[in-house]
Structure 1
Amino acid sequence: MTGPSVDLLDRLMIREVIENWAVWRDAGDWERFASLWHPEGRMMATWFQGPADEFIRVSREGFEQGVRILHFLGGSAIEVAGDRAIAQTKMTISQRAPVEGVECDVVCTGRFYDFLERHDARWVIALRQPIYETDRLQTVDPARPAVLDPDLLARFPVGYRHLAYLQHGLGYEVKDDMPGLTGPQVEALYARGAGWLGGEPL
């Protein structure tokens, strides 16, 4: 096959990778989750930055200890250039944990920005960099408000301020310069994505 049919098939295969990532990770299906990554794949998140195999290990440990970081996906925009692709997928990240002694849910809305490569005849993720656009915190019991430290909250970027606050309270070292909806970090990410499609290394 050549032409539009091949391009559509690639896009469908890439979308399947993205959907399987969310389902298998949130379900704790670690063996199949590992199959979605390039051998040198990397994950960037608020609480972790590093190789995919290490991300899988610490995610599994957290899952077994009761940590729940869940994902829900929306639409995707996918650009394919030969054996490389960039996919942007609307998503939400949700996490439940105590915040200042009160059980809370944080929901963060953004995009997964994925660098993908065809490897051994399969599309796999070479790098996943989320873009954090906005978030909110609410208590599980509306009758019990959580009183946040405004100075600590203000330390974190607006796109994931409450998620970072929650994760900081759990003892994570939260990265404080992740890409948001606008700004130099996301512009640099877009430039890196264009370079990837043009053949540049990560």
Structure 2
Amino acid sequence: MDNTLLDRMAIRELVENWALWRDARDWDRFRTVWHPDGRMMATWFQGSAEEFIQVSEEGYARGVRILHFLGGSTTDVRGMRGIAQTKMTISQRASVDGVACDVVCTGRFYDFLEKRNDCWGLVLRQPIYEKDRLDAVSSVDVLKLNQKLLSGFPEGYRHLAYLQSRIGYKVKTDMPGLDGPALEALYAHGDGWLDGRPLAI
């Protein structure tokens, strides 16, 4: 079998393991998908993989419930480096102003990967947030959002950001979306990574 195909298969397995092990809180195995210098970017957190594990566990203890679902994936491999893009959905349930709500955000995981010591690992995960929605869990509940607060967040994840801000998280407001300068900059960083340049973000 072609080595590039084997690399792509290994990367796809890594991406799937990330979602399964993260949501199952299987942290020992979750650590294996990262290189030691790996970093995670999210609306509510930006930092090392180890810090991400810590804050995820702390959030779970406080009742935070975030789940991930994966779709199609494509991978570019050049030598010992790769960029993987995977369709995904993030879902989170929380109380918003006393109303139990579900938020669903659709986008892509944009992953910077490297093969070290014959093992692929994540160096950086940067989600792209494309669209979202927020609904009351029960159809009898009436959800009234603060429109000023809502409109202050980027379109691709404004409802996710609204919910997360309401439960106490400081949300990053310049993440890549469906289009725009942040997305173009991310693509440029990805091309540079494949060309062997240092990680620029």
Report deviation, 1:63: 2.0
What residue in structure 1 maps to residue 189 of structure 2? 192
Q: Displacement of 1:64 after TM fit?
A: 2.9
Give me the whole-angstrom Cα distance separating, in 2, the residues matched to 1:25 and 1:180: 23
Q: Which runs of 4+ in 1 moved over 6 A?
A: none
1:71-150 equivalences under 5 Å are 71-150=68-147
Pair 1:23-2:20 in alignment: yes
User: Following the alignment from structure 1 to structure 2, what is the Cα–Cα distance between the partners of residues 105 and 48?
Assistant: 20
Number of aligned positions between the proteins: 199
- CA distance in structure 2 between the aligned counterparts of 1:177 and 1:108, rounded to whole angstroms: 16
Superposed CA RMSD in Å reads 0.8
CA distance in 1, matches of 2:38, 2:122: 6
Partner of residue 58, structure 1: 55
Q: 2:30 aligns with which of 27, 33, 58?
A: 33
Q: What secondary structure, in the 3-state scheme, does the structure 1 residue paired with 2:101 have?
A: strand
The unaligned stretches of length 5 or more in structure 2 are none
d(CA) in 2 for partners of 1:24, 1:139: 28
Identity percentage of aligned residues = 66
Where structure 1 has 5 or more consecutive residues not aligned to the other structure, the ranges are none
Deviations 1:134-178 (A, max 9, x none): 000111001102100000000000000000000000110000010
Counterpart amino acid of residue 26 in structure 2: D
Alignment TM-score, normalising by the size of structure 1: 0.97
Superposition deviation, residue 49 in structure 1: 0.6
CA deviations 1:21-76 (Å, max 9, x no partner) are 00000001011001111110000000001111111111122123321110000000
Taking the aligned partners of 2:113 and 2:156, their CA distance within structure 1 comes to 25
Partner residue of 1:182?
A: 179
